[in-house]
Structure formats: structure tokens, C-alpha cells
Amino acid sequence: MKRIFAIVLLLVITLSACFYIFYYADEHKKKEQEVIADAKKVVVITDLPSDMFEPIKQSFYNSKKINVEVNYINTVNLKNIDPVILKKSDIIITSQENLNKLKSMRKIYKFTSEKTDTVLNIFKDKDGFWTGIWINPTIFIVNKKFADNNPDFVYSWDEIFNHINIRLSVTDFIASDITKDLLMSMTEHFGEDGIFDRLWIANKHVIQYGKYLSTPSRMAAMDKCDIGISDYNEAKRTEKEGLPVIISYPIDGTAWYLYGIASLQENNSKESVEFINWILDSSNYKKNMEDNKNYYLYSNDMKVNSDKFGKDLIFWDLEKNYSDEGKKTLLDLWVEKIRFGRN
């Protein structure tokens, strides 16, 4: 009996030891994998809202098992990014305007790949310092009743500016970076005198200058204006809600707002290269973006259907090298001469 007990005890001890060894080995392996996973990461600086970027970050991790550490900063602070954060970061995602400033400050480095090479030249830096990702064109958002009652209306910039019987809505040019950029783009395209002459006429039949980007599309949906000058993202949100609006592409072309990506390191890590090339392929995350109500065109996926009037989207050929001083001068002129109507 004692002998059987001893054998059983020995078996229990042996099995316990084996279990402990296997458990310890498994836990050790898990910790090693966690360390490896933690080491495989890319650090991104962005002024995008977190609710827009977090789903992208998660999609990238699900796809590549590479962590994305994000430093969210205010656009105003881009010029004075903490050097420590800058040194420890791999990539920055921000607007075209900010990327051009960072290039002039020598804070970003050249990066090219097969993915950047297929982006159209107007949507990337000619020297390879940054590449555009998301394009947000300016479009017309039309009240459906107006469209039905005016089937022959020509949706061009001159037509909507010059027809004083049309109720217009536009976001105030001083209200956001996107509308400031629109004023600068229109000035580059039409010339300073050309755009101010057009805006002077338009001012007579603008129902309301909105404080928010969503105002023109919302007013068109509520029949408070006939046509709103809107960014594509806000217009698509309104359309997706099933409200009575129609998106029209200006037949004489249009401006756009661009978000892009750049490298903050001269020697890119493997993870950084993976991330840049991954984000330049919209098939990796486009559905995720749209599920979160972010609607953009993608620099490597320019397929966009014609509008309801059968017109294709045409982009103006813009250089968009705008100085802070030039922007301030134009905005001041607009406020003084047009917004408040003093000659």
C-alpha cells in the first residue's frame, strides 16, 4: 500500500512539475511575443480628430500586427512641435498646407515608393517630401426641389455667382482651414480681381455665411437655400442621410483640400514603410472610413462616378503654395470689401 502511495505521489509531483514547466514556457513565449509586438510599432503625429484616425490605426494593426502610437496635436502647434516628440516619431499626417510648411522648415524627409509613384502629380510634392492621401473636393449641394424645377440650369461657378435670384449658402471663409484654403484656391484659379468681382456679386444673394462646414448642405436639405458651396465630405454625409439634396460637380472644375503623409526620419524603419504604403492603398480601410461617416476621394483610387447630371469631377490645376501673409491679406480684403460690403 505504501509502495502504491509513493508511486502515485511521484506521478502527481512529476505531472505538476511538467504542468508548471509547460505553463511557464507558454507564459514566457507570450511575453516574448508581446515584447516583439511592442517593438514592432510606428509612431505617428497628426492633427486629425481621433475619432477619424483611431479606426484606421486599428485596421492597420489587424492587417499587419504592427502597433500605431499616435501623438495628437493641435494644428496651431505644428510650427512648434516638441523636438523630443519629433525625434521619436516616424510619420506625420496633416494638410497639404502644413506639409509644405514642414518641408520649408526641413522637418520632413523624402520618401518614394511604388505606391507614391502612382499618385497624380498635383496631389504630391514634386520633390518627393510628402504624398497626398485623402482629397476633399469643393462641390455644389443642390436642393432637390430647385434641381427639379430648373432642369436646364448649368452648374458652373459663374452661373451660381452671377444669378442673383439663386439663394446661396457658403461657410464663412474665415471659419475653417478648409474654407480659407478654398478662397486661396479660387484666387489662384480666377485671379484676385476675378474672384473678388465674382464674390461681390455672390454676396448679394448669399442667404447665410455658415459658421460650420455642414451649414451649406444642411440649409440646402431644409430648403433654406437653393445651392450650397460645400466640401465633398459634408455633402456626402447629408446625402447618405437620405435628405432631399443632389451633389453637383462644377462643370468648369473645382478646388480641393488635401491631407497627406510624410516621413519624419531620414532612415525609415520597416514598419514606417509598411504603414505609408498600406495607407496609400484605400482598399485596406475605405469601408472602415465610410462606416465612420468619413467620405473622401483617395489619391490612389480616383474612381468616382459622374454626378446625377452626368458631369465628371474635374480638378483645377493648382500649385497651392500660399504664404501666411498672403492668406491674411486676402482674408482681410474679403472681410472689409465683401463680407461687410465696404468699398
Tens-place pLDDT, residues 232-281: 999 999 999 999 999 999 999 999 999 999 999 999 999 999 999 999 99
CB 255 within 8 A of CB 319: no
Listed in order, the ranges of the chain carrying CATH 3.40.190.10 are 41-134+257-298, 136-256+303-338
What pLDDT was estimated at residue 74?
84
Note the pLDDT of residue 15: 64
What is the topology classification, in CATH, of domain 41-134+257-298? D-Maltodextrin-Binding Protein; domain 2 (3.40.190)
* Distance separating alpha carbons of residues 228 and 142, to the nearest angstrom: 6
In the three-class reduction of DSSP (H, G, I as helix; E, B as strand; rest coil), residue 247 is classed as strand
Q: Is residue 15 classed as helix, strand or coil in its secondary structure?
A: helix
* pLDDT at 10 (0 to 100): 60
Which CATH class name applies to 136-256+303-338?
Answer: alpha beta
Other CB atoms within a 10 A radius of the CB of residue 42 amount to: 25
The C-alpha cell that represents 54 in the structure block: 483611431
Bridge partners (DSSP) listed for residue 72: 46
pLDDT of the residue at 32: 46
Three cell numbers written together for 271: 514598419
Question: Cα separation of 242 and 288, whole Å?
Answer: 20
Ranges of residues in the chain with a pLDDT under 70 are 1-12, 14-39, 76-77, 79, 342-343
- List the one residue out of 279, 276, 278, 282 whose CA is nearest residue 263: 276
For 66, the grid coordinates are 504592427
Burial label for 187, CB within 10 Å (0-12, 13-18, 19+), is: buried
Nearest to 166 by CA among 182, 186, 142: 142
Query: What is the per-residue pLDDT for 62?
Result: 96
